[in-house]
Amino acid sequence: MSASAVDGVEIESGDGVLRITLDRPDRKNALDVAAVRRIVAALESAATDDALRVVVLGGRGADFCAGADWIASNAAGGRPRTGSLQRRTALQAHRLIELLTELQLPVVCGVRGWAAGLGFQLALAADFAIAATSACFWEPFLERGFSADSGSTWLLPRLVGIARAKELLLLGRKLSGEEAAAWGLVHRAVPDAELDAAVAALVERLAQGPTVAIGLTKRSLLRSLDAGLVEAMQGESFALELASRTADFKEGLLAFRERRAPRFEGR
C-alpha cells in the first residue's frame, strides 16, 4: 500500500485499488488547476497499470466536491489571452471527465455533502456513484453567470432526459442523494452512516471481477450511446474476441463446469 497527498489530493494504491481522495475540506474539496492535473496524471497512469482492478473517488470531510475552485484559478490577476479558457478547459476539467468515462477500469464514487458543478459531473462520469441520502447535487453554472461545462450537457440528458436536464442546468434545481438515486443519476443512495461500508462492499465486488471484460463492456456501453445497433454489435464482437483470450474467461468456463464461484485474477 502506498499513499501520497499533494496539491489537495491523496493518491493511494494497493491490493488492486487506486483510491483518489479530494483533500481540501476547508474549501469543500473544490478543485484547483493543480489538483485536477494530479488526478488526470493518476488516471492516465492507471490506464496502463495491470495491477489495478478498480478506482475509487471520494472526498475527505463533510463534502465530496464543491466544483472548480474559481477563486484559486483566477488569483493570478491580469486578463488572459482570448480563447485561454477554451484551451485550458479541454486539458483540465474536460480531460478529467473524459478519462473517467474512457478508463477501462470500473470507477466507484462515494458522495456526501456537496457535489456541485464539476463535483456533480465527477459523480455522473463514474460507473457507480453511491450517495449519502443527505448529499446535495447542484449545477450552479447559470447562477454564477456562465454556461455549463465539464460534460454536463452530454451526461445529464442521457441519464435523465432533456426536460430534467433543463431543470437542473437552467433552473438550478438542487437534488438530495435520495432524489438523485430516484432520478437515475447515481447508482444508489444510503443513509449517511452507511456510505463508507456501501462503497467498500461494491469496490470489493468489482476488484474480484474479470477486469478486462468489465473494461471492454464499459467501453462498449459508452460507444453505443452514439452508434446504431449494427455498429454497436460490431464493437461488441471485437470486445468479445479480446475477452475470450483472457485467463479470466477460461476460469469462468472452468468454474461453470465445476459448479463453483469463479476466482478471477483480472488478467
In DSSP terms, 68 is beta-bridged to 31
Active-site choice (7, 149, 192, 196): 149
Active-site annotation holds for 187:
no
Please give the grid coordinates belonging to residue 211: 477486469
CA distances from 78 to 74, 81, 145, 147 (A): 9, 9, 20, 22
Distance between CA 137 and CA 117 in Å, rounded? Answer: 8
The amino acid sitting at 35 is: A
CB atoms within 10 A of CB 163: 8
Q: What are phi and psi of 84, to 5 degrees?
A: -60, -45
Active-site choice (15, 50, 69, 94): 94
The amino acid sitting at 176 is: S
Active-site annotation holds for 149:
yes
Quickly count helices (H) and strands (E) in the chain. Answer: 12, 10
- Buried/exposed code over 199-217 (b: 16+ C-beta within 10 A; e: otherwise): beebbeebbbbbbbbbbbb
Place of cell 426536460: 163
Distance between CA 265 and CA 261 in Å, rounded? Answer: 13
Q: How many CA atoms lie within 13 A of 107 on its CB side?
A: 27
**Catalytic residue positions?**
94, 149
